[in-house]
């Protein structure tokens, strides 16, 4: 259900029926010459629209502007909001949702720069509302690298990376008219992973980077459709587990 279509007289009835609120998080950011500036908006909205109605979500409008303080900030088209501003703004949104009585909030994210902001907001909200539960989902993590490799949707690469074939194949599946890879678009190869264990590495001038990275020539509609189907299945399973989880208050149920 879309909050924008709920009438004032029906709001209380709707609030009694829904199980959680959804706040999609995007950005307006350069993703390469082959990609739309609204890539993250398309992705976050696309996955929000594929949430099954049986889950009873209440979907809010996307947050389109956010912090892009890193390597895309100086590329044309990127609009970057200060991290402190977007943190306060997102907190006010989620706080407003909680004030209506909703206690389960899904932050459905399509921009890596939103992860730190979302974690800060989630901590602040759950400190204020002890019975609140905020789930941050980064859509790209809903498909394991291993499963994608087993299917073989890309050759010699995982396809991951900003503006790369993994991301842009999904955009192409959502909006076939908006992804245009030409022969002049370079395939860029990033450095090999330093470890199989999770880590965070931030570099000012990483290898294989020009506002995007990856072998974009492997972008395809078929790959995007497979990724979406896999991600939506895994997302639904995660949401069901989350919604069935009892909320602990002050050390007890």
93 phi/psi in degrees, rounded to 5: -65, -50
The per-residue pLDDT for 206 is 86
Asked if residue 179 is part of any domain, the answer here is yes
* Mean pLDDT confidence for 71-89: 96
- Please tell me the least confidently modeled range out of 55-69, 156-170, 202-216: 202-216
Asked if residue 251 is part of any domain, the answer here is no
* Mean pLDDT confidence for 90-118: 98
Angle at 60 between CA 54 and CA 64, to 5 degrees: 130
Asked if residue 253 is part of any domain, the answer here is no
Cα separation, 50 vs 151, in Å, equals: 22
The domain in which residue 104 lies consists of 3-244
- Asked whether residue 250 carries a pLDDT value surpassing 90, the answer given is no
- Asked whether residue 197 carries a pLDDT value surpassing 70, the answer given is yes
Give the rounded percent of residues in the chain with a pLDDT score beyond 90: 84
Asked if residue 250 is part of any domain, the answer here is no
Domain count for the chain, please give it: 1
Asked if residue 42 is part of any domain, the answer here is yes
User: What is the CB neighbour count within 10 angstroms for residue 120?
Assistant: 15
The per-residue pLDDT for 115 is 97
Asked if residue 36 is part of any domain, the answer here is yes
Cα separation, 158 vs 57, in Å, equals: 32
User: Residue 191: which pLDDT band, with cuts at 50, 70 and 90?
Assistant: confident
Q: Which of 113, 114, 132 is nearest to 123 (CA)?
A: 132
| Pairwise pLDDT comparison (152 vs 251), residue with the higher score | 152
pLDDT tens readout for residues 15-74:
999 999 999 999 999 999 999 999 999 999 999 999 999 999 999 999 999 999 889 999
The per-residue pLDDT for 251 is 44
The per-residue pLDDT for 220 is 97
Asked if residue 17 is part of any domain, the answer here is yes
Cα separation, 134 vs 132, in Å, equals: 7
The per-residue pLDDT for 190 is 83
The per-residue pLDDT for 253 is 43
The per-residue pLDDT for 252 is 44
pLDDT tens readout for residues 218-241:
999 999 999 999 999 999 999 999
Would you say the pTM of this structure is higher than 0.85?
yes
- Asked whether residue 127 carries a pLDDT value surpassing 80, the answer given is yes
* Mean pLDDT confidence for 75-95: 98
Residue 153: give its domain's CATH number: 3.40.50.10310
3-class DSSP assignment, residue 183: coil
* Mean pLDDT confidence for 180-202: 89
Q: Which residues contact 204 (CB under 8 A, 6 or more apart)?
A: 71
Asked if residue 252 is part of any domain, the answer here is no
């Amino acid at each position: 259900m879309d909050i924008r279509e709920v009438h004032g007289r029906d709001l209380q009835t709707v609030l009694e029926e829904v199980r959680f609120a959804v706040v999609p998080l995007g950005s307006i950011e350069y993703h390469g010459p082959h990609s739309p500036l609204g890539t993250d908006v398309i992705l976050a909205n696309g996955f929000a629209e594929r949430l099954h109605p049986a889950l009873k979500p209440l979907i809010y409008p996307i947050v389109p502007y956010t912090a892009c303080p890193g390597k895309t900030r100086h590329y044309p088209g990127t609009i970057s909001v200060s991290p402190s501003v977007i943190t306060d703004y997102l907190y006010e949104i989620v706080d407003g949702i909680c004030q209506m009585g909703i206690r389960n909030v899904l932050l459905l994210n399509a921009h890596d720069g939103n992860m730190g902001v979302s974690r800060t907001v989630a901590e602040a909200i759950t400190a204020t509302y002890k019975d609140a539960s905020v789930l941050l989902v980064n859509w790209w993590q809903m498909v394991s690298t291993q499963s994608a490799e087993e299917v073989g949707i890309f050759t010699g690469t995982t396809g991951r990376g900003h503006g790369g074939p993994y991301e842009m194949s999904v955009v192409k599946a959502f909006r076939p008219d908006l992804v245009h890879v030409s022969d002049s678009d370079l395939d860029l190869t990033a450095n090999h992973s330093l470890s199989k264990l999770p880590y965070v590495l931030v570099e000012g001038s990483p290898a294989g980077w020009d506002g995007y990275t990856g072998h974009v020539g492997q972008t395809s509609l078929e790959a995007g459709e497979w990724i979406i189907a896999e991600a939506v299945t895994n997302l639904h399973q995660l949401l069901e587990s989350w919604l069935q989880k009892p909320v602990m208050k002050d050390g007890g149920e």
